[in-house]
Amino acid sequence: MLAMIAAAFWEPSFQAKPGARAARRLPRADHSPATLSGQATGRRRHPFSIRRTLLWSGESSAAPILPEPDVTQAQAVDGDYDYIIVGAGSAGCLLANRLSADAGKRVLILEAGGRDNWIWFHIPVGYLFAIGNPRSDWCFKTEPEAGLNGRSLNYPRGKVIGGSSAINAMIYMRGQAADYDHWRQLGLVGWGWDDVLPFFKRHENHFLGESHAHAVGGEWHIDAPRVRWDLLDAFRAAAAQAGIKSIADFNCGDNEGCCAFHVNQKRGRRVSAARAFLKPVLHRPNLRLETGCLVEGVMFDGRRAVGVRWRQEGGPGNGKDAMRRSARCSGEVVLAAGSIGSTQILLLSGIGPADHLAEHGIGVLIDRPGVGANLQDHLQLRLIYKVEGVATLNARYHSPLGLPRMLAEYALFRRGPLTMAPSQLGLFTRSDGDQARANLQYHVQPLSLDRFGEPLHKFPAFTASVCNLRPTSRGAVRLRSREAADPPVIRPNYLATEDDRRIAASSIRLTRRIVAQPALAPFHPDEYLPGPAVRDDDEQGLIKAAGDVGTTIFHPVGTAKMGLPSDPMTVVDDRLRVVGVERLRVIDASVMPTTTSGNTTAPTMMIAEKGAALLRADAKAFAS
């Protein structure tokens, strides 16, 4: 059913053969002004249609979801910029907003993806169509993983302004205060919970209002869910019966308990980083956005970063072939391309493990073995239960009247399943009594599917996805070749440690204990995956089952970790400066020394907010 909705808005430019792997192709830059006029585009204007209603938000009659004017100018990338930001994703959009607020600073932001002029970037349920689609996703894959019984995983990353915030779960989650206090204990000055809380609040506009924990008036909207399910209410009651308390807010420093997820939406529309931070300031004359830019490396004068070079399809001349372009920077170059992209750019620029760079014929500027190492990701174990006598998205998806009802509910009220995040109910708890704090996170969903990008199952079911919040396994990102267009080698190394395997087995047992509580009994939950053949007393069987059902929950961090100069694996210092070179910083999720206890978009934006403040403070000090 939702596939029918997608077909109504899918653009003919995307066509893939069944089973074909998408090539990593540069999106074409668009330098020509767009128009909202039906007359100008040659389209007939209708007084009313469901499509037109869906395209327009309820905020005002002048607030289209798409398309929006392209305000970049068709001019040469000339002169020196004060800041060049690589990556217009979750971190880059915020950085561009903050750094261009100083009218005296010229800011260039480069994005490898394209514009967000597709409806499924804006309707929340669009992740079902964006993930795995080469229009919106780089469609990376991991190498075969021993811990996953030889499986290779799809590894989605956003390919659009807004980055992964345009295709992700929209869940606002800071993590735990102890995560950041641990960073401070590692010697990272200014990164404890009390230090970073003001940076979370600086851009926040929270529906709960002003408090010690939250703020209002910022660009980053956080709303309550606009859909509810009896099944999830029953799961929450079952969690309480299993000894897991209900709480009102996950984001006050201790997230242990069960609560509905708060989401980055505004009146039923996704709020991406591009919508919140970048697009509202593109009118600034000192800010320039270029899309379709695949960065090939940072340019150096000695060990000082002086610019960026890239390949760009299209361009001012609207040529068909990619052209090589560059821009110079008199201030600082900032990599904000994420844990995969920023790592690849550092390596292509000659910053990384010397032996790995030599393998690909890349000259070594700085031998930094930590570049690409320390990859951490949350592995979710997706337990699926068939149910009876209760509504699920599976049933609505396949119901003959489900499509018009969902369309009408969204078009008229901005409510219902089309506003759904992938998960609506969250739960944080401990896998065992030895844990000092919550080390498991659940994403509970009134739906089931083999994997995102695949159809929903035809039977009614729910998914209780559980992940180990602080895995001890470490992976790596490496170059496949010296060509920027070749996807990197991604090895998360899931379930590589005894601790991670033990916690995985315990989390399956705990899930079964919650589902067995009386609150869910009326719906007769029947375990579909991993299935009752895997017994609770069979530790090795549970570990194998974890490898069979485990998949990424899209939270890669740590590949350019922040640390002390004495640590040979350090990539950036506590001011996010790349160690060993000048005027180059990394400001995104890759700098996390250890992962946070939850979803990673909000912590990434906090890092960007703090990073922008550090950049501006250092520029002011240098000028004086």
- State the pairing for strand pair 323-335/80-86: parallel
Q: What radius of gyration do the chain's Cα atoms show?
A: 24
What is the distance between the alpha carbons of residues 558 and 411, in angstroms, rounded to a whole number?
Answer: 41
Task: Provide φ and ψ at 491, rounded to 5°.
Answer: -125, 90
- Type of residue numbered 308: V
Q: Cis link prior to 64 (omega < 30° from 0)?
A: no
Rounded to whole angstroms, the Cα distance separating 607 from 196 reads: 8
Positive or negative: CA dihedral 424, 429, 431, 437: positive
Options 122, 203, 443, 555, the catalytic residue = 555
Residues contacting residue 329 through CB under 8 Å, at least 6 positions apart: 80, 81, 82, 83, 84, 108, 305, 306, 307, 308, 583
Give the whole-angstrom CA distance, residue 131 versus residue 129: 6
User: For the chain, how many helices (H) and strands (E)?
Assistant: 16, 24
H/E segment holding residue 609? helix 601-623
Give Cα 240 distance to the centre of its chain. Answer: 30
CA 81 to chain centre: 28
How many C-beta atoms lie closer than 10 Å to residue 14's C-beta?
Answer: 12
DSSP assigned state of 64: B
Spell out where 369-420 has E strands.
Answer: 379-386
- Which residue is it, tokens 């067995």? 516
Write out the DSSP string of 8-47. Answer: HH--TT----TTPPPP--PPBP--SPP---HHHHTPPP-S
Among the listed residues 510, 541, 365, 355, the one whose alpha carbon sits nearest the alpha carbon of residue 441: 510
Mark whether 555 is an active-site residue: yes
**CA of 199: how far to CAs of 205, 254, 413, 529, 561, in Å?**
13, 18, 33, 41, 20
Q: Which residues, at least 6 apart from 603, have a Cβ–Cβ distance to it below 8 Å?
A: 174, 175, 589, 592, 596
- Answer for the pair 122, 49: CB distance below 8 angstroms, yes or no: no
Give the span between the Cα atoms of 512 and 310, in whole angstroms: 51
| Close Cβ partners of 457 (under 8 Å, ≥ 6 residues apart) | 384, 394, 448, 449, 450
**Local structure of 7: helix, strand or coil:** helix
Q: What are the two backbone dihedrals, phi and then psi, of residue 478, each rounded to the nearest 5 degrees?
A: -135, 165
Active site (catalytic) residues: 555
